């Protein structure tokens, strides 16, 4: 396996070298990680009291970010389906980049769970074999299982494919294809299980709606591909990465359908809550209109709705979908809309008012913001490094030394197949 | 016969003096800000025609505890007499149990794990009563084995008008309020 050593060395070289913009980007991310690290040390020293989470609102900003990112991770891989159906040219590249995004998003998910725990040193108790997971009863034990399976599956797939391509060998379809096909149901199940984690809690009526899992999937299909669209454009500019405009526009079109579904499901839920107006309405009211003068989340609720509707319109109209300015604006809007809706907008009203009827208005502390920034820093750093290694392999500029010397290497720009 | 520990709280006797809360805090050395039981006061009507219900509340030691289902590690478990306990050494502080409890019975200990009422199982095993029950000056709290028809708690829940909190929760609580 001397090839493996060469591969690691070459990869490391790729990660540390780059232009000005790349170095600045990495430096910025490292700064975020440092800020997050310092804040986390503070949190570990003082305990969860360093956050604004209390017994009334015991899951908050961290878990909101976690939920949003599970969606990103799930949807990244789902892009395989349209890529296959519409026969986009670089399908292998779409798969690999989707999986890299999934790996980074999952890294962030696991970190967000870890920083939310009161005793992160005991997380091994949840792991299969190592600990004593309460499986199959506990949805959290399920979630840990599917998230880690999904992470391992993606990592194995990407590593296999990239290493083979790097060596200039053909990948074995009998290994590759079943794994890709397996990753699709696993990606859907990660998101469904996460939805069920909230959905199954009868104690929290705000989450106890059967529409939750479908809503999760619909909104995930908005936020995940938004990252991919932006990434594809960057790669097209910096590398000779052959993705066609049509593919990008198609993704945007699919996102507008997903957003429509998401908004429709939201409307269905709002109708049910407001028309039947049971005592369970209070949570929805807290989010959309405030409750007894507590209105901390109200501006965000409407901001989220505005962003989502605007993005839907931008992606629906062919002219704005095809214009790269409005397209990228739409990506940002959709990201913001879903981030609020699936993050704080999902978690906080679930706990406000609490089961005893008390209202504790939660807003994150500076420590929580800093730690979240640090986690995003780690995630984007992982993503940047992975993309930096993967793209040269995919476009054929990073090859095993013996292959480069060999006659007739694949010409750059066209993936070696 | 399997024991089923339960408590009857007489809302007509309770005066809301919080002696039970203090007794629990001392007995179980609870940290500042952490409570395993508390007093709920509900007023009805408008001045001057008012009535008030005072309840000493705690974990209901549910027969179908959603917290035990939610716990990913098995730290939350069903112990003797159906009492729901938390094994501290296994608790990761993930707070899934806090989210899943319909009664707000749990709190996060400053040391990161989750804590709740145990019906003072350490005392009950020695044949003593829970600290709150022993302390209550109006004898509003009655603890015992509901599976034993001769027990005082079984008799009270038979003969008096009884309610449980959030009967629709699906948890089958074992703290009964006599009204
Ligand atoms: S009251 Fe809450 S903590 Fe107690 S057993 Fe029931 S669900 Fe669990
Ligand atoms: S906080 Fe502790 S007791 Fe509660 S669900 Fe998590 S591991 Fe179990």
The alpha carbon of B4 is separated from its chain's Cα centroid by a whole number of angstroms, namely 13
The answer to whether B170 touches B62, Cβ cutoff 8 Å, is: no
**Token pair 């790269």 in the structure block, residue:** A324
Peptide bond into B48 cis (omega under 30): yes
**Tens-place pLDDT, residues A111-124:** 999 999 999 999 99
The ligand minimizing its distance to the Cα of A133 is 2
How does residue A407 score in pLDDT terms, banded at 50, 70 and 90? Answer: very low
Is any ligand 1 atom within 6 A of the Cβ of residue B106? Answer: yes
Q: What is the rounded average pLDDT for all residues in chain A?
A: 91
**Tens-place pLDDT, residues A302-352:** 999 999 999 999 999 999 999 999 999 999 999 999 999 999 999 999 999
CA distance B128 to chain A (A): 30
The answer to whether B58 touches B40, Cβ cutoff 8 Å, is: no
Q: What domains lie within chain A, and their CATH numbers? A: 10-404 (1.20.1630.10)
What was the pLDDT predicted at A1? 56
Q: A223 to each of A85, A90, A256, B160, how far by Cα in Å? A: 21, 22, 11, 57
Q: Say whether residue A354 is in contact with chain B using an 8 A CB cutoff.
A: yes
CA of A6 to the centre of ligand 1 (A): 57
Q: Given the DSSP bridges, would you call strands B37-46 and B5-10 parallel, antiparallel or unpaired? A: unpaired
The closest residue, in CA terms, to atom 4 on ligand 2 is B97
Judged by CB atoms within 8 Å, which residues 90-119 of A form the interface with B? Answer: 113, 116-119
Instruction: Output phi, psi for B53, to 5 deg.
Output: -110, 130
Complex ipTM, two decimals?
Answer: 0.92
Q: Given the DSSP bridges, would you call strands B49-58 and B114-115 parallel, antiparallel or unpaired? A: unpaired
What are the residue boundaries of the structural domains of chain B, listed by start? 5-64+118-178
Instruction: Output phi, psi for A105, to 5 deg.
Output: -65, -40
The answer to whether B11 touches B177, Cβ cutoff 8 Å, is: yes
**Token pair 């990228």 in the structure block, residue:** A328
CA distance A357 to chain B (A): 10
Residues B98-121, mean pLDDT to the nearest whole number: 97
Angle between helices A366-395 and A91-116 (to 10 degrees): 160
Round to whole Å and give the CA distance between B144 and B138.
17
Say whether pTM exceeds 0.90: yes
Round to whole Å and give the CA distance between A263 and B20.
50
**Token pair 């052959």 in the structure block, residue:** A242
Q: B124 to each of A158, B5, B121, B130, B135, how far by Cα in Å? A: 57, 10, 5, 7, 15
Please give the helix or strand (H or E) that residue B85 lies within, else none: strand B84-86
The ligand minimizing its distance to the Cα of A203 is 1
The alpha carbon of A254 is separated from its chain's Cα centroid by a whole number of angstroms, namely 18
CA of A167 to the centre of ligand 2 (A): 47
Q: Structurally, what CATH architecture does the domain formed by B5-64+118-178 represent? A: 2-Layer Sandwich (3.30)
Round to whole Å and give the CA distance between A204 and B166.
12
pLDDT above 60: residue B159: yes
Per-residue three-class SS string for B1-62: CCCCEEEEEECCCCCCCCHHHHHHHHHCCCCCCCCCEEEEEEEEEECCEEEEEEEEEECCCC
- What is the number of H-type helices and E-type strands within chain B? 6, 10
**Tens-place pLDDT, residues B13-38:** 999 999 999 999 999 999 999 999 99
**Tens-place pLDDT, residues A52-94:** 999 999 999 999 999 999 999 998 888 888 888 888 777 778 8
The answer to whether B6 touches B174, Cβ cutoff 8 Å, is: yes
Question: Nearest-CA neighbor of A390 among A235, A203, A230?
Answer: A235
The beta-carbon neighbor of A58 closest among B92, B99, B112 is: B99
Q: Given the DSSP bridges, would you call strands B5-10 and B175-178 parallel, antiparallel or unpaired? A: parallel
Judged by CB atoms within 8 Å, which residues 20-79 of A form the interface with B? Answer: 47-49, 55-56, 58-59
Q: Given the DSSP bridges, would you call strands B114-115 and B76-78 parallel, antiparallel or unpaired? A: unpaired
pLDDT above 80: residue A200: yes
**Tens-place pLDDT, residues A350-367:** 999 999 999 999 999 999
Question: Nearest-CA neighbor of A103 among A401, A383, A402, A387?
Answer: A383
How many residues does this entry show for chain B? Answer: 179
**Tens-place pLDDT, residues A6-61:** 999 999 999 999 899 999 999 999 999 999 999 999 999 999 999 999 999 999 99
The closest residue, in CA terms, to atom 6 on ligand 2 is B94
Instruction: Report CA torsion sign: A206, A207, A213, A218.
Output: positive
The closest residue, in CA terms, to atom 8 on ligand 2 is B71
Please give the helix or strand (H or E) that residue A284 lies within, else none: helix A281-288
The alpha carbon of B111 is separated from its chain's Cα centroid by a whole number of angstroms, namely 22
């Amino acid at each position: 396996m001397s090839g493996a050593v060469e591969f690691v060395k070459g990869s490391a070289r790729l990660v540390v070298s780059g232009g000005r913009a790349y170095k600045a980007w990495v430096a910025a991310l490292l700064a975020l990680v440092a800020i997050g690290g310092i804040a986390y040390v503070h949190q570990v020293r003082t305990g969860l009291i360093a956050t604004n989470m209390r017994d009334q609102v015991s899951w908050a900003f961290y878990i909101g970010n976690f939920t949003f990112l599970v969606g990103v991770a799930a949807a990244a891989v789902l892009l395989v389906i349209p890529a296959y159906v519409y026969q986009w040219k670089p399908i292998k590249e779409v798969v690999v980049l989707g999986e890299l995004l999934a790996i980074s998003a999952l890294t962030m998910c696991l970190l967000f769970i870890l920083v939310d725990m009161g005793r992160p040193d005991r997380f091994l108790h949840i792991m299969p074999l190592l600990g004593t997971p309460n499986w199959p009863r506990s949805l959290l034990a399920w979630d840990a299982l599917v998230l880690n399976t999904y992470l391992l599956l993606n990592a194995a797939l990407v590593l296999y494919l990239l290493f083979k391509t790097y060596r200039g060998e053909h990948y074995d379809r009998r290994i590759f294809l079943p794994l890709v096909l397996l990753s699709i149901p696993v990606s859907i199940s990660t998101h469904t299980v996460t939805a069920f984690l909230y959905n199954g809690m009868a104690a929290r009526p705000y989450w106890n709606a059967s529409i939750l899992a479908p809503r999760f999937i619909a909104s995930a299909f908005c936020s995940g591909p938004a990252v991919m669209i932006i990434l594809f454009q960057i790669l097209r500019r910096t590398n000779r990465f052959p993705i066609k405009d049509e593919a990008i526009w198609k993704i945007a079109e699919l996102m507008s359908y997903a957003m429509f579904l998401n908004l429709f499901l939201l409307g269905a839920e709002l109708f049910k809550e407001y028309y039947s107006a049971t005592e369970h309405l209070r949570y929805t009211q807290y989010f959309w209109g405030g409750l007894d003068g507590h209105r901390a989340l109200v501006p965000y609720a409407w901001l989220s709705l505005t962003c989502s509707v605007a993005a839907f319109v931008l992606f629906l109209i062919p002219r704005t979908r095809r214009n790269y300015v409005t397209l990228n604006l739409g990506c940002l809007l959709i990201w913001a809309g879903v981030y609020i809706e699936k993050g704080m907008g999902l978690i906080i009203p679930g706990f406000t008012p609490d089961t005893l009827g008390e209202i504790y208005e939660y807003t994150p502390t500076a420590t929580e913001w800093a730690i979240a920034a640090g986690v995003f820093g780690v995630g984007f750093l992982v993503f940047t490094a992975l993309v930096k290694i993967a793209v040269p392999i995919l476009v054929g500029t990073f090859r095993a030394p013996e292959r480069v010397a060999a006659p007739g290497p694949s010409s750059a720009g066209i993936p070696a197949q | 016969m399997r024991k089923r520990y339960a408590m009857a709280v007489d809302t007509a006797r309770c005066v809301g003096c919080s002696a039970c809360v203090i007794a629990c805090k001392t007995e179980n050395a609870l940290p500042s800000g952490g409570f395993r039981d508390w007093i709920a006061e509900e007023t009805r009507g408008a001045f001057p025609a008012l009535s008030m219900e005072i309840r000493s509340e705690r974990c209901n030691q549910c027969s179908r505890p959603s917290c035990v289902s939610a716990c990913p590690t098995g730290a939350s478990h069903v112990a003797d007499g159906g009492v729901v306990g938390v094994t501290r050494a296994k608790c990761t502080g993930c707070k899934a149990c806090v989210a899943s409890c319909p009664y707000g019975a749990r709190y996060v200990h400053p040391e990161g794990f989750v804590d709740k009422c145990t019906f003072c199982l350490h005392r009950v095993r020695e044949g003593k009563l829970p600290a709150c029950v022993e302390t209550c000056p109006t004898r509003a709290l009655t603890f015992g084995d509901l599976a034993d028809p001769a027990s005082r708690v079984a008799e009270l829940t038979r003969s008096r008008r009884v309610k449980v909190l959030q009967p629709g929760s699906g948890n089958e609580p074992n703290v009964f309020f006599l009204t």
